[in-house]
Structure 1
């Protein structure tokens, strides 16, 4: 498991430009000094983003040696040393805030995902993220979900077609909509249909959608609806699912649950950086 540097170099470069602008005004004070330091977990959780500091040091000029001690996806205890650094003090401190901002957020997402997986306690059901990510951070947020044991839903509007309530309102007849959509996007892209009523569920089954999403339904309704869906159609439950009611969906037979709160209600994991 790991982030692809080529994929994240462009957003990280933007983040550096946002933070450093025309340059760190304290850098002249540091001159050519070198330093050592460490990233430290101040609370327990699941690590994600361990490569971020190293990527930032590369973009700042390769003047820092970064040694990770814990891999992404591994459990952190309070006091765990995540990584050690040695090199240019100016570059170390220039990347400090960016490194922590991303590592804390990503580890918070990974920790929440791992907690959700443990709470559901049903390996037959996939836990998915959503597109409810912070703009510009989707690749980082979704990677963090994988670190916590979750699975990525679509990355954008381009890799899976979803007919939601607004599409229903605009088009009307679901069967015709799916037929025309399949003709337009080809046979390799899947079509998911969001349903909110029993009548919509039956229409989606008749139209042979690839995936049917039960939107904002109780666990009892989900179980009843799932019994009507043939095995050839995947099912997803979305809306109103929290850590408090998550376990109620265990054993329901659905293919997956999607949890928007994993990435839109993030509680950062407390990680610090200290110079020796």
Structure 2
């Protein structure tokens, strides 16, 4: 992750949460009172975001000491300690909510991603995310996908060409859209086109698309499309993918399965900060 971007985002999150100050903590504790706490798993999950949580505490007060007790991508059980922190009590409490919010979110994404990866184990296919991320959290959420064993699709719109249904509708045809892209995009950039019919797949082959996305097709239709493409383009499956359907989709022969649910529907994991006496 980009450290400068990460720090600027976390600083904004802390400002949002703390406001002009922590009225409760600052009324109870003096600035020099010290304490320690543990971030503890309340359920089983895959750990992601330890470095982010540490950065939250460090930005709040550089005197806070963080001790990692598990590594990224570790599967933990309820009761396992994820991170130990010690330092000024007021600052530990100020940073607590932001650190937990981000850690819980990232662990949830990594855990869900790992389940999708496990569901297609043994098949030559990659599970990827999409741009359906939480505004402001994309970098962290995509990092969590990687921790869970998945891969990243485009980070933003400058990362690649993906001609989608609305591009095609507004332009008039796949052929015309691909032609216009080729006239302006660098030759080093691959062109991906979204399709939802076999006729569109055929049009992509004729105009030389590099990657063909099969959107919301049945596994049977996908298998037919893969046979038609016959290695002439990379094949991505997308649309409505879930844990019950992903194996059948992968078995159709596609190279990539993109899953928006990895980031837009992953439940946050239950993690608490327990104070030490």
- Quote the RMSD (CA, aligned, Å): 1.3
Q: Which piece of structure 1 moves more, 259-268 or 167-176?
A: 167-176
In structure 2, the partner of 1:79 is 79
Q: Secondary structure at the match of 2:84?
A: strand
Determine if the alignment matches structure 1 residue 34 to structure 2 residue 26: no
Q: Which residue of 2 aligns with 1:13?
A: 11
- 1:9-158 equivalences in 2 (<5 Å): 9-25=7-23, 26-31=25-30, 32-158=32-158
Per-residue Cα deviation, 1:72-102 (whole angstroms, up to 9, x for no partner): 1111112111111111111111111111111
Q: Please give the alpha-carbon distance, in whole angstroms, between the structure 1 residues aligned to 2:59 and 2:94.
A: 11
- Residue by residue over 1:108-149, the C-alpha shift from the partner in whole angstroms, topping out at 9 and shown as x without a partner, is 110000011111224410001011111111111111110100
Q: TM-score, normalised by structure 1?
A: 0.96
User: Alignment partner of 1:237: what SS?
Assistant: strand
1:69 shift after superposition: 1.1
Taking the aligned partners of 1:191 and 1:29, their CA distance within structure 2 comes to 59
Structure 2 CA distance for partners of 1:8 and 1:64, relative to 1, 3 Å: same
Displacement after TM superposition at 1:4 (Å): 4.2
User: Any conservation in 2 of the 1:126–1:257 contact (CA below 8 Å)?
Assistant: yes
Shift of 1:175: 2.4
Separation of aligned partners in 2, 1:36 and 1:87: 7
CA contact (8 A) 1:122 1:251 kept: no
Q: CA deviation at 1:180?
A: 2.1
Q: What's the TM-score once normalised by structure 2's chain length?
A: 0.95
CA deviation string 1:229-265 (max 9, x = no partner): 1424111000121111111123322110011111111
**Structure 2: unaligned runs, 5 residues or longer:** none
Query: Unmatched 5+ residue regions in structure 1?
Result: none
